């Protein structure tokens, strides 16, 4: 019985350590907070993007152009990126992390990228604030469109 407990104890500890590491990463990658004391907790960078280490790696395919409606956009929640197409064939990308308190925006509607938490809206053309309480625009992300593939760059 003690062997079993020991084995389970090891497994539980492993899970807790892994969980702790996962909790640390987002806290270290808060946008616009370069002065955070949490920088010392940042794991060794897996990519040269520095603070964007929780962001998808450059070159990752986000999706296809067909997924992003003309005059609208799509939130890629897993990658925390929103891609818009303000005018036909003109694709733009922004972080999906709201500048108010960090919620993930959840929809693109009527020309704005909308946050569900407190109602902030950002313009699909440039990520600027259309309605508060957010005061800062969504950070632009660089993408390339090759054929019908949209990639982060």
Nearest distance in Å: CB 76, ligand FES: 17
Q: Which residue has the tokens 């004391």?
A: 37
Burial category of 8 from C-beta neighbours within 10 Å (exposed 0-12, middle 13-18, buried 19 and up):
exposed
Stretch that binds ligand FES, among 1-9, 17-25, 42-50, 93-101 (CB under 6 A): 93-101
Instruction: Please give the Cα distance from 121 to 87 (Å, whole number).
Output: 19
- Alpha-helical runs (H) found in the chain: 2-27
Q: Are 113 and 127 in contact (CB under 8 A)?
A: yes
Q: Which stretch binds ligand FES (CB under 6 A): 16-24, 47-55, 61-69, 96-104?
A: 96-104
Is the CB of 28 or the CB of 117 nearer to ligand FES?
Answer: 117
Minimum CB–partner distance for residue 137 and ligand FES (Å): 13
> Radius of gyration of the chain from Cα atoms?
19
Site for ligand FES in 106-145 (CB under 6 A): 115, 117-120, 133-134
Contacts to ligand FES by CB under 6 A: 98, 100-103, 115, 117-120, 133-134
């Amino acid at each position: 019985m003690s062997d079993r407990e020991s084995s389970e104890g090891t497994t539980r500890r492993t899970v807790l350590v892994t969980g702790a590491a996962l909790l640390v990463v987002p806290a270290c990658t808060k946008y616009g907070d370069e002065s955070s004391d949490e920088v010392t907790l940042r794991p060794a960078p897996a990519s040269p993007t520095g603070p964007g280490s929780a962001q998808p790696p450059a070159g990752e395919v986000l999706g296809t152009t067909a997924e992003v409606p003309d005059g609208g956009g799509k939130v890629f929640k897993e990658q925390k990126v929103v891609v818009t197409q303000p005018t036909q064939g003109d694709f733009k990308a922004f972080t999906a992390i709201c500048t108010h308190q960090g919620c993930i925006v959840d929809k693109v509607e009527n020309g704005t990228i909308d946050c569900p938490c407190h109602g902030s809206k950002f313009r699909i053309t440039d990520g600027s604030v259309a309605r508060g309480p957010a005061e800062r625009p969504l950070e632009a992300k660089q993408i390339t469109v090759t054929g019908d593939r949209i990639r982060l760059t």
